Amino acid sequence: MAESKISPYNLADLKNTTDDALGNYMRSLGFQQDNKTTDIKLAVGYVGCIIAAATFAADYKLGWEATKTWTAVAVFAYMVLNGFYSYWVYFVEKGLVFEGTKSGKHVSIASKTNKHEPTYYLTITTNAPSTDPRKIQAPFPTWFTADGFFVAKPFQQWLASSVGVIGDADAKNAMRDQRDELASPKMPAAEASVPEDIGNGTVESTGVESKGKSGKRSKRK
Amino acid sequence: MFGSLANMQPRQLAAQILQFALVLSTAFMLWKGLSVVTDSGSPIVVVLSGSMEPAFQRGDLLFLWNRRQETQVGEVVVYNVRDKDIPIVHRVIRRFGGGSKPLQLLTKGDNNAADDTELYARGQTFLDRKKDVVGSVAGYVPYVGYVTILLSEYPWLKTAMLVFMALTVVLQRE
């Protein structure tokens, strides 16, 4: 698929491109997408539109007087449906980008951005042991070039290393070997004193800044 | 421009189209809601002629209320000429009946020399409040109606506006 270029300053484009990539990535890992939330939204919305269309047709064919009562009922029904639709989009769907299951593990991912801030915020809910919704974030330039091209690799690495469920499905990008190596390096005997000198044993991260996890890791010896 | 549409998942595309459909539906249902509340088939009308000057000018937007069946002399009403789809805005100058008998009205434009007897259908000499009158004027906004006049005199404007709106809503993902 040809990568299309977007303006790296347009927050909406950044978010939408990333959201689309997230969905594609999850599907490519074999997660079965659960479309219930979207389907309910679409069903309610389109039923409302059908009611409006029917009212329009009735009014066009039969005129105002004959259709007065039906119109009153239809308007009320439409307002109820529209209210439910708005509630659903605002409170239930709330930024949902992907919801799916793989090998019994259910994951739900919602994204968010703040105005004028080039950071991608994700809220991840899984049925894995820690059931609190997990929040992670990363700046968009992590996976966008300065010209506005999306680069999949750093994006996938960030996701796979930050989210357990994704990392389980994509071992290559999770780079768990590197993570574990950085956390508790298997050092030759001669340099064994170096970690002691640093004090509480905090391992400094080198190289790529996006590996947030290793940067914060501290190991008590 | 359409590249973004081609890359979309089918449900996303359905959601984008739904957004546009909802804009149209909500606008239409709000209009119908207003009809239901005012009990009038056409609760907002545009003045097309100068027959009510200086009270109403061509291009004024009028708001109608149809729940007061006891129309008085001096009220401005909008009525449809029987069998024709032409709404006319004129003032009531005489009333007959009312109470238990059906109310009948005679109207005349302020700026006209003669009353409306010539405008009514063949054989009709007065208006039936229930059947012919769309509503009485409850308020107005000047000049705003010119948009409607333009849209009806240049019908291609309607299509152009609709196409423009459709493109804007379907392609926008903010």
For the packed helices B146-153 and B156-171, what is the interaxial angle rounded to 10 degrees?
110
pLDDT top residue among B8 and A203: B8
Note whether B21 contacts A46, CB cutoff 8 Å. yes
CA A202 – CA A193 distance, rounded (Å): 14
- The residue of chain A nearest to residue B23, with distances taken between CA atoms, is A49
Describe the crossing of helices A11-28 and A152-162 by its angle, rounded to 10 degrees.
Answer: 70
DSSP state of B142: S
Residue B102 lies in a domain: yes
Q: What is the pLDDT of residue A172?
A: 82
Question: Is the residue at B37 inside a domain?
Answer: no
How far is residue B160's CA from residue B80's CA, in Å, rounded to a whole number?
30
Query: What is the count of residue pairs from A and B with beta carbons less than 8 Å apart?
Result: 65
A49 → closest Cβ in B22, B33, B174: B22
For residue B138, the model assigns a pLDDT of 94
Neighbours of A13 (CB within 10 A): 20
How big is chain A, counted in residues?
A: 221
Sign of the C-alpha dihedral computed for residues A135, A139, A144 and A148 taken in this order: positive
ipTM confidence: 0.80
pLDDT band at A1 (very low <50, low <70, confident <90, very high): very low
- A60: Cβ contacts below 8 Å, ≥ 6 apart: none
Write out the two tokens for B83.
Answer: 């069998």
Q: Which of residues 22-41 of B touch A (CB under 8 A)?
A: 22, 24-26, 28-29, 32-33, 35-36, 39, 41
Give a yes or no: residue B91 inside a domain.
yes
The domain containing residue B78 runs over which residues? Answer: 44-142
Interface test with B, best of A11, A22, A71, A98 (most B CBs within 10 A): A71
Mean predicted confidence (pLDDT) in A129-156:
86
The pLDDT of residue A197: 45
- Is B108 a domain residue? yes
pLDDT average, residue stretch A27-38: 90
Number of structural domains, chain B?
A: 1
Cβ within 8 Å, pair A82-B3: no
Of all residues in chain A, the percent with pLDDT exceeding 90 is: 45
Give the active site residue among B60, B116, B132, B136: B116
In tens digits, chain B (174 residues) has pLDDT values of 566 666 677 888 899 899 999 999 999 999 999 999 999 989 999 999 899 999 999 999 999 999 998 999 999 999 998 878 788 999 999 999 888 889 999 999 999 999 999 888 888 889 999 989 999 999 999 999 998 888 888 989 989 998 998 888 888 775
**Model's pTM, two decimal places?**
0.75
| Numbered residues of chain A with Cβ closer than 8 Å to any chain B Cβ | 1, 4, 12, 16, 20, 23, 35, 38-39, 41-42, 45-46, 48-49, 52-53, 55-56, 59, 63-65, 68, 71-72, 74-75, 78-79, 82, 85
User: Peptide bond preceding B54: is omega within 30 degrees of 0, i.e. cis?
Assistant: yes
CB burial string A193-213: b at 16+ within 10 A, e below: eebeeeeeeebebeeeebbee
CATH number of domain containing B99: 2.10.109.10
Across the range A138-148, mean pLDDT stands at 91
**Residue B9 at interface with chain A, using a CB cutoff of 8 Å:** yes
Give the C-alpha separation, A219 to B17, whole Å. 53
CB contact (8 A) between residue B28 and residue A82: no
In a domain, B163, yes or no: no
Q: Do A135 and A155 meet the contact criterion of CB atoms below 8 Å apart? A: no
Angle value at C-alpha B32, between B31 and B35, nearest 5 degrees:
95
Q: Model confidence at A132, in pLDDT bands (50, 70, 90)? A: low
What would the DSSP string read from start to end of A83-117? HHHHHIIIIIITTEEEEEEETTEEEEEEEE--TT-
Nearest to B3 among A4, A38, A41 (CB): A4
d(CA A141, CA A146): 7
